[in-house]
Structure 1
Amino acid sequence: MTTSEYNRCVHELSDSLYRFAWKSIGEAEEAKDMVQQAFTVLWEKRAEVPPEKGKSFLFTVAYRKCMDVHRARGRTTGTERLHENALTEAPRTNELKKILQQALATLDQQSRNLVLLKDYEGYSYEEIAGMTALNTTQVKVYLHRARKSLKNYLVSKEHVI
């Protein structure tokens, strides 16, 4: 990867990488740090990463860092923190976005990341499997369970859409 190809990755992918990190860990400043770290790792490995694999490489690094943050926080604390941030930082003008953020906060970290990678970022099952060290079947099963959980949350008496 040349310097200009790296700069193109920064220009094209920084927003979507930040969006993924913020939705995954729920803290804006940590998400910014995570994006910076992902681009640092890409810069250090630029000789080994072909330009067409830059996006996948960055999201793999970000996914792994999100999982590290989640493990460091502990399951309960991370979920509570994400739930609080979803209520305070989400745009207040769109009630649906708030409800979706709350629904995502009910998922465990791995399920939330899989949903974000597939449904928000548009990765294929095979690409997600490569990023997460899961096989394609596991990705499909975990996504099915996560979506079923989201559906149950969204159609519950409190959150009818």
Structure 2
Amino acid sequence: MTNLSLLGLCEENNFNRFFKNQVKALRNYMYYKFGNAEQAEDVTQEAFIKLWENCEKVPLEKAKSYLYTIANNTSLNQIAHQKVVLEYAKAAPKQDKTFESPDFHMEEEEFKTKLQKAIANLNEGQRTCFLMHRIDGKKYSEIADALGISVKAVEKRMHLALIELRKEFDYFK
């Protein structure tokens, strides 16, 4: 048994080591899964807070699984809340907003928005594979191991993601 497993997560140094080992992977996973960087950061922090609050109840072997479960459930709850907010926003009167900026800045912002929307519109599997490959630089075999699927499934998801993105940006062919 390692020193970490003997003392458990409630020991501050052990928790800090666990945090440093897991925070980036969890944050990236949440971003890839739900497509929102701020939400991913918030959910990651909240998951670690809940893990710390329940460190006595969570065995070290199950800490990573507990962390990902809490993060996933928190994100799903936030999405449900966002749906309620959007329904309310639809009922509220729209306000006219005008932004004045140089053409280049405006085009750049439009492109970023269109790209983020196109990535967000990919299904969860395609988006996760695409971002893990393009942002994290992971190989298909690493993605397959992380997601528990075959390399062929990763290839198929990447292929379909690229087809969908090319539809949105037809001038990149």
> Which whole-Å CA distance do the structure 1 matches of 2:133 and 2:18 have between them?
20
Partner SS state of residue 149, structure 2: coil
Residue correspondences, number = 130
Partner SS state of residue 43, structure 2: helix
> Which whole-Å CA distance do the structure 2 matches of 1:137 and 1:131 have between them?
14
Cα distance change, pair 35–110 in 1 and its aligned pair in 2 (3 A): farther
Q: Does 1:61 align with 2:68?
A: yes
- Structure number with larger C-alpha Rg: 2
Q: Does 1:10 align with 2:19?
A: yes
Partner SS state of residue 137, structure 2: coil
Shift of 1:5: 6.8
1:1-161, aligned counterparts within 5 Å? 2=4, 7-8=16-17, 10-11=19-20, 14-15=23-24, 17-25=26-34, 26=36, 28-29=38-39, 32-34=42-44, 36-37=46-47, 40=51, 44=58, 46-47=60-61, 61=68, 65=72, 69=76, 94-95=108-109, 96-155=111-170
Q: Matched residues, percent identical?
A: 16
Q: Report 1 or 2 for greater relative contact order, CA contacts < 8 Å, sequence distance ≥ 6.
A: 1
Instruction: Give unpaired runs (5+ residues) of structure 1.
Output: 50-56, 81-91
Assess if the C-alpha contact under 8 Å between 1:114 and 1:139 holds in 2. Answer: yes
Tell me the alpha carbon deviations over residues 73-128 of structure 1, each in whole angstroms, 9 at most, x when there is no partner. Answer: 6xxx6xx9xxxxxxxxxxx8852432320110221122111112111122222222
Q: Which amino acid aligns with 1:69?
A: L
Partner SS state of residue 122, structure 2: coil
Q: Which amino acid aligns with 1:24?
A: K
